[in-house]
């Protein structure tokens, strides 16, 4: 058994780790999930500047992604609609209406011209690993220069954890990163292209919640036009929620029409006698015109799931950007240094006619030795000692090129390389300034290619979420049919009060037990019910219960006056002590009642009248006051029907 348990534990941990790292949670380093990263790798691999069928890209991506084509297609469409990774051609769906994209065979895509500028594909800088079958290589993670996790957002559910990162505005993210590099304070908040309003009071820098609303045009008091959508909502879903609220009788509208195309336009007409101001709060309360979204910035950092804030991610990327720029500059410096070395070798090889030394050599070894010996007098001019690779390079120079060698052109090339090396050395000493410059250049490039990306669409505002209970109409009839059933779906009988679906009620059964519960649709409470009311504190504080009960052992009558305070929902409470017989429950402040005593020999007074108001109010758990030490046969209450 221990072996089986250990096997299950091991397999579960491996499965959970796989789902968390390789499917649901994006990596902080490039902000992408594995399927998205593999799509981008494929697009870089097949990029020739021309559009390719999406179905073709999906098929090629399956070389790296060990899952079905449906998940790849969905991820590609979603990534293309982020506007910064993929250029699209054809119908990729409509984020406003919620219409899906066309089939992959009808639409085309290619890698965005700026994607290679913020996703580093250089294998000398980005680490590549074998794909799932070992036939090809794919990036483990891209070294991204921009905080992509914030730019595109992410949503995923893994084993025991989930992530919900809302997208941010491109310009604001770049500006925040620049401020971070300069040591200045910054704040950033989510932004989506569908617009809407958001309240970020409880956002907690990405790990709290936001309240999002649709934007209304209420200039016409008989018509509401929804011009912008809340976050995570499309026009179709919004109209459906309005229809459902109308059918449930929660909002009063005449019609709702949808004219959404490339911007939201939903028109709600109101019936006679109903005006805009009467409906707005109900729309927020009962439909998706207002939503509360909980957020958690969970990402994979150093192969572990970590919850981070938006500020922390910006700071991480600001620091990382300087490291990437340093690595790129050092890579370019090493490449240019080697190029300078080769240009110098070529110049000396031709100018000093070293190639003449190899004319009489018969073997490869003697040729190589002659070349190396020929460079010994010029060692001081070389970057490093001449290698076998250098010799091979020189020997492959065509004779035509030697005869037409342009010394001035060579010197110009050497000068250009030296100038660039000086610039690289200067930039290596000012990496922060280089990072700021890079971010500014990227902002300018995006402004030229996709200016819409830099505009803020979602308006930050301050408002409180509409409480459904505050706008619901108290128009449901709570009825009691006399047969023992109480509820809103009970037909016939007596209407006890008007309620809402969110109310709680207190009712007192015939036996003196009372209970507090949510408004029932149909509930058996027994025949005969003394009292029924809303159970909010304000209502109950005004209700004074007078309870008349009899001790079955002595037949003595007691009176108890009290109020109901605290309670536990759906639990029975008894006004009288255990074993007592409740004869009457009343909520009037004062009333008269006549007690009829049991007939006995030599007893002349057989009835006596009391006033309830003569007795003091006590606590709910206190015992009642005994009226007389005489056996009681019945009680007649003024204003009540019959004898008790």
Which residues are part of the catalytic machinery? 106
CB 95 within 8 A of CB 81: yes
Which run of H or of E encompasses 423? helix 407-428
- The token pair that represents 418 in the structure block: 């030296």
Angstrom distance (rounded) from CA 353 to CA 374: 9
DSSP state of 643: B
Beta strand ranges found along 9-165 (DSSP E) = 52-53, 86-89, 108-111, 119-120, 128-130, 137-139, 143-144, 154-157, 162-165
Sheet with 215-217, side-by-side order of all strands: 215-217, 223-228, 266-269, 255-258
* 135 contacts 274 by C-beta, under 8 angstroms: no
SS3 label, residue 196: coil
Q: Which long-range contacts (CB under 8 A, 24 or more apart) does 482-485 make?
A: 482/527, 483/527, 484/524, 484/525, 484/526, 484/527, 485/522, 485/523, 485/524, 485/525
Q: Which residues pair with 596 in a beta bridge?
A: 607, 634
**Residue 131 to residue 317: CA distance in whole angstroms:** 27
Cα(118)–Cα(320) distance, integer angstroms? 12
Q: How many beta carbons lie within 10 A of that of residue 99, not counting itself?
A: 14
Alpha-carbon gap, residue 376 to 105, rounded angstroms? 64
**SS3 readout for 450-462:** CHHHHCCCCEECC
Interhelix angle 310-351/388-395, rounded to 10 degrees, is: 60
Helix axes 34-46, 54-61, angle to 10 degrees: 110
Q: In 429-557, which ranges are continuous DSSP H helix?
A: 431-449, 468-471, 537-541
Burial label for 391, CB within 10 Å (0-12, 13-18, 19+), is: buried
User: Token pair of 613, please?
Assistant: 């108001």
What is the rounded CA–CA span in Å between residue 63 and residue 53?
16
User: What whole-number distance in Å separates Cα of residue 597 and Cα of residue 628?
Assistant: 10
| Length of the chain in terms of residues written | 644
246 to each of 215, 238, 268, how far by Cα in Å?
20, 13, 11
Strands 581-586 and 592-597: unpaired
> HSE of 197 in the Cβ direction (CA atoms, 13 Å)?
17
242, 251 in Cβ contact below 8 A? yes
């Amino acid at each position: 058994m221990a072996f089986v348990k250990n096997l299950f534990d091991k397999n579960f941990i491996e499965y959970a780790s796989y789902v968390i790292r390789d499917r649901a949670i994006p990596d902080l380093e490039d902000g992408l999930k594995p399927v998205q990263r593999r799509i981008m790798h494929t697009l870089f691999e097949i990029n020739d500047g021309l559009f390719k069928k999406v179905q073709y890209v999906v098929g090629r991506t399956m070389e790296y992604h060990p899952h079905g084509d449906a998940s790849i297609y969905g991820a590609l469409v979603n990534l293309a609609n982020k506007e910064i990774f993929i250029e699209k051609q054809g119908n990729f769906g409509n984020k406003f209406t919620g219409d899906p994209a066309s089939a992959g065979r009808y639409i085309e895509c290619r890698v965005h011209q700026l994607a290679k500028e913020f996703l580093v594909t250089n294998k000398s800088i980005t680490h590549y690993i074998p794909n799932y079958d070992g036939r090809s290589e794919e990036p483990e993670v891209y070294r991204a220069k921009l905080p992509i996790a914030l730019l595109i957002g992410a949503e995923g559910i893994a084993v025991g954890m989930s992530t919900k990162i809302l997208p941010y505005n491109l310009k604001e993210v770049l500006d925040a990163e620049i401020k971070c590099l300069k040591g200045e304070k910054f704040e950033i908040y989510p932004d989506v292209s569908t617009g809407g309003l958001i309240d970020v009071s409880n956002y907690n820098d990405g790990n709290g919640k936001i309240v999002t609303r649709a934007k209304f045009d209420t200039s016409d008091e008989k018509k509401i036009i929804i011009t912008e959508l809340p976050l995570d909502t499309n026009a179709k879903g919004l109209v459906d929620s309005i229809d459902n609220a109308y059918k449930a009788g929660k909002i009063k509208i005449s019609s709702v029409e949808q004219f959404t195309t490339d911007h939201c336009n939903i028109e709600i007409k109101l019936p006679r006698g109903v005006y805009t101001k009467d409906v707005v709060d109900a729309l927020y309360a009962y439909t998706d015109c207002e939503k509360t979204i909980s957020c958690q910035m969970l990402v994979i950092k150093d192969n572990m799931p970590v919850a981070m804030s938006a500020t922390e991610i910006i700071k991480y990327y600001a620091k990382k950007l300087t490291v990437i720029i340093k690595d790129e500059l050092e890579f370019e410096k090493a490449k240019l240094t080697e190029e300078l070395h080769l240009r110098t070798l070529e110049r000396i090889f031709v100018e000093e006619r070293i190639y003449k030394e190899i004319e009489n050599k018969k073997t490869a070894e003697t040729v190589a030795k002659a070349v190396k010996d020929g460079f010994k007098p010029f060692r001081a001019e070389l970057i490093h000692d001449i290698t076998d690779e250098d010799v091979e390079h020189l020997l492959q120079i065509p004779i035509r090129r030697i005869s037409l060698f342009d010394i001035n052109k060579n010197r110009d090339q050497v000068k250009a390389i030296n100038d660039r090396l000086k610039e690289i050395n200067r930039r290596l000493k000012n990496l922060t300034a280089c990072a700021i410059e890079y971010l500014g250049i990227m902002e300018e490039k995006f402004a030229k290619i996709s200016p819409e990306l830099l505009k803020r669409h979602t308006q930050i505002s301050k408002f409180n979420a509409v409480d459904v209970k505050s706008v619901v109409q108290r128009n449901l009839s709570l009825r009691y049919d006399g047969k023992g059933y109480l509820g809103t779906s009970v037909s016939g009988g007596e209407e006890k009060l008007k309620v809402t679906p969110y109310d709680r009620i207190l009712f007192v059964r015939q036996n003196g037990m009372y209970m507090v519960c949510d408004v029932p649709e149909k509930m058996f409470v027994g025949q005969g019910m003394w009292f029924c009311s809303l159970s909010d504190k304000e209502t109950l504080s005004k209700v004074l219960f007078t309870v008349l009960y009899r001790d079955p052992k002595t037949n003595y009558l007691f009176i108890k006056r009290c109020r109901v305070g605290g309670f536990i929902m759906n639990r029975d409470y008894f006004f009288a002590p255990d074993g007592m017989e409740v004869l009457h429950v009343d909520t009037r402040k004062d009333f008269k009642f006549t007690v009829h005593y049991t007939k006995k020999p030599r007893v002349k007074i057989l009835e006596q009248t009391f006033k309830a108001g003569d007795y003091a109010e006590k606590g709910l758990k206190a015992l009642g006051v005994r009226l007389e030490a005489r056996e009681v046969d019945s009680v007649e209450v003024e204003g009540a029907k019959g004898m008790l």
